[in-house]
Chain A
Amino acid sequence: MFGEKAAKGGFPTIEVFDRRSMTLDELVVYPLFTAEFLEWLKQSIPPAQQDRIIYTAHIRGWK
């Protein structure tokens, strides 16, 4: 998704690297989310998707 947004912003080519899946359980380290919210999230997202719905990556581009 960032590729399309970056292209619209003037960066037709970007480099994506260090892509890693993040499970819902890993979100517990972030104090932005309460335990109640994370539990609700687990109930709202189908179990089959929970381990692959979120990922992190580094994105690099040059002007």
Chain B
Amino acid sequence: MSLTETEIKESIIDTYTKVASNGRLVAERFYSPEELQGLPTSAVELALGVGNPVRHAGLRPGEVALDLGSGAGIDTLQAARKVGPSGKAIGLDMTPEMIRRARANAQAMGLANVEILEGPMEAMPIPDASVDAIISNGVINLTMRKSQVFREIHRVLKPGGRFCVADMLINGELPDEVLNHPTAWTG
């Protein structure tokens, strides 16, 4: 029997609420020491992404950046440093515990240009044409409604805006028992 969208979301929220740090293993795989410098330990040790979209997004001072599935904030905080005090970095996540951690991490860094919002990426609480660049790191694979996420990305981007997403993809067909295992949908 296939998992429903609600079951998958509940499983993701439960997993990301309980997830424990795995040290710096993931962060050191994708970020340089310079990029990690100055970030709170909690953000670095809860890096769960699969790439480094901030590095490739071409963020400039004064821009508005949006991080889909911001987690504990490692990419949102780096985006905030890139866009500077005249810009803004918005993190969007659906897990209250991760939102709490990201807000605490932004506060610890003294960043006033960070806003962390709660909501689904399939229906972002973001105005139309208000964002210059969207980043996301290992998150869009978690939704069953990927086309809807890209429709939302298109809606909130300004004309000429761009997205840069790092994600995990499947090359071929996974067995049904894997596709229907809740844990397979959380990573």
Contact = CB atoms under 8 A, between A and B. Distances in A.
B48 A30 contact: yes
Contact of A53 (B20, B163, B172): B172
Contacts of B152: 9
A33 B161 contact: no
Nearest to A6: B150
Contacts of A54: 168-171
Contacts of B140: 2
Interface in B144-187: 146-154, 157-172, 174-175, 177-178, 181, 183-184, 186-187
Contact of B25 (A2, A29, A60): A29
A45 B171 contact: no
Contacts, number: 124
B153 A9 contact: yes
A62 B26 CA distance: 28
B124 interface: no
B112 interface: no
Interface in A28-57: 29-34, 37, 40-41, 44-45, 49, 52-57
Given A53-B170, A54-B170, A30 B154 contact: no
A57 B22 contact: no
A16 B54 CA distance: 15
Nearest to A19: B169
A10 B149 CA distance: 11
A58 B164 CA distance: 7
Given A32-B183, A63-B154, 13 more contacts: A1-B146, A5-B146, A9-B152, A31-B19, A31-B20, A31-B21, A32-B19, A32-B186, A37-B181, A40-B181, A59-B164, A59-B165, A60-B164
A55 B150 contact: no
Given A59-B165, A60-B56, A29 B26 contact: yes
B160 A32 contact: no
Given A31-B21, A56-B169, A9 B159 contact: no
A57 B167 contact: yes
A34 B21 CA distance: 13
Contacts of B16: 32
Contacts of A45: 174-175, 178
A2 B158 CA distance: 21
A53 to B, nearest CB: 6
